[in-house]
Amino acid sequence: MKPTPTDAAPVQAKFAAARVELAAALIERDIEVDLALTALVAGEHLLLVSPPGCAKSLLLDSLLAWTGGTKFSVLLTKFSVPEEVFGPVSLAGLKADRYVRVTAGKLPEADYAFLDEVFKASSAILNTLLRVLNERTFDAGDGVARAVPLKLCVAASNEWPCPETGRELAAVFDRFLVRKAVAPIRSAAGRSRLLWSRDHAPKLTASISPAEVDLARAAARAVPWSVEAKEAFEAVLKELAREGVRPGDRRQFKTVGVVRAYAWLSGDEVVMPEHLEAAAHTLWDDPAEQPGVAARVIGRVANPVGMRVTQLLVEVEELVAATDTRDLAAAAKAAAKLGEVQRQLASLKGGGRLEAARAHVREQLRRLRLASIEAV
């Protein structure tokens, strides 16, 4: 029996509240929060890549603290052994001439997993990890592939795998459907919060159970695609092919579910072209240039509000950083540009991220004018 919107409404409200609370606490991590929750609802895995110290672990720890169920976390190195991830070999089994692993407390029995520095793992770990991530099964050594309860695996890395890496690394990289490069804090306001706020850990007012996650997934799968969204998605794939970006069939098919999950997470009852914003983090293979190509194509074809907001905020931060408030002419020019950004944001329709962007631009304009007055 399919869940009705009424059945899933309380769960959807929990996701919406967590989305707001995580984004409010984590500085300039709105997109990463959206992607983490979208991956959870879609039943896919998430990879975040950045230099050390960009709050990847804080985001993931906060998300895992919010979810119920069992959790497994490990920092992988080239010296890590399979026993650290999948469990030690049973001594009792060896005495009985059986080679089986004791998986208690390890990845095969976890609802949620965090794999830090996943690309540093050995081939022995990576090869076994492939089946766990893709088929959601694990063979403890007795030849029986048993289902694992894994709902979400989040991986972090300080660098993308290079094109010359082996087949195992490329295959594991492909298992993470949702992928995002995490940038350091850009804005002066964000930097001020980072430096002078004592506690950056999110305070979540509720938790979510594994059963509620299952309900959210069933509700998201029931969200239909509009004709406009289908046409936009097919147009995006054609444009990407012209640009030399050809994601595999499986990646294209799974992206449909990710976009559905993003629409449900946004509180919408049907997938519209603007929900293709999530596809910018799935429809590519080579991290060198293709993410930028995918974002540009989706922005042009589907014109998602979220992507437009992000673009405008980047322009604002670049403008504020480059403006000398002591130069009254330059300050006036910058204020005029900020006013134009305000007008563009006012013309957009959206939710919390848009409102936060409008407030941020208003504050930047106020600071710019105040600094110019003080300089006179």
pLDDT in tens, 72-125: 999 999 999 999 999 998 888 777 777 789 999 999 999 999 999 999 999 999
Return the minimum-mean-pLDDT range out of 82-86, 181-185, 226-230: 181-185
Percent of the chain residues topping a pLDDT of 70: 96
CATH architecture of 5-77+106-136+144-196: 3-Layer(aba) Sandwich (3.40)
- Top mean-pLDDT range of 51-55, 98-102, 253-257: 253-257
Amino acid (1-letter code) at residue 152: L
Please give the pLDDT value at position 364: 84
Please give the pLDDT value at position 4: 55
The C-alpha atoms of residue 111 and residue 70 are separated, in whole angstroms, by: 5
Return the minimum-mean-pLDDT range out of 148-162, 206-220, 335-349: 335-349
The C-alpha atoms of residue 8 and residue 204 are separated, in whole angstroms, by: 20
Q: What is the pLDDT of residues 54-69, one digit of tens each?
A: 778 888 888 888 988 8
Evaluated on CA atoms 71, 75, 76, 81, the torsion sign reads: negative
Per DSSP, the three-state class of 163 is: coil
Exposure class string for 79-110: b at 16+ Cβ within 10 A, else e: ebebebbbbebbeebeeeeeebbbbeebbbbb
Please give the pLDDT value at position 150: 94
The C-alpha atoms of residue 298 and residue 124 are separated, in whole angstroms, by: 38
Give 348's pLDDT tier (boundaries 50, 70, 90). Answer: confident
As a CATH number, domain 223-303 is: 1.10.8
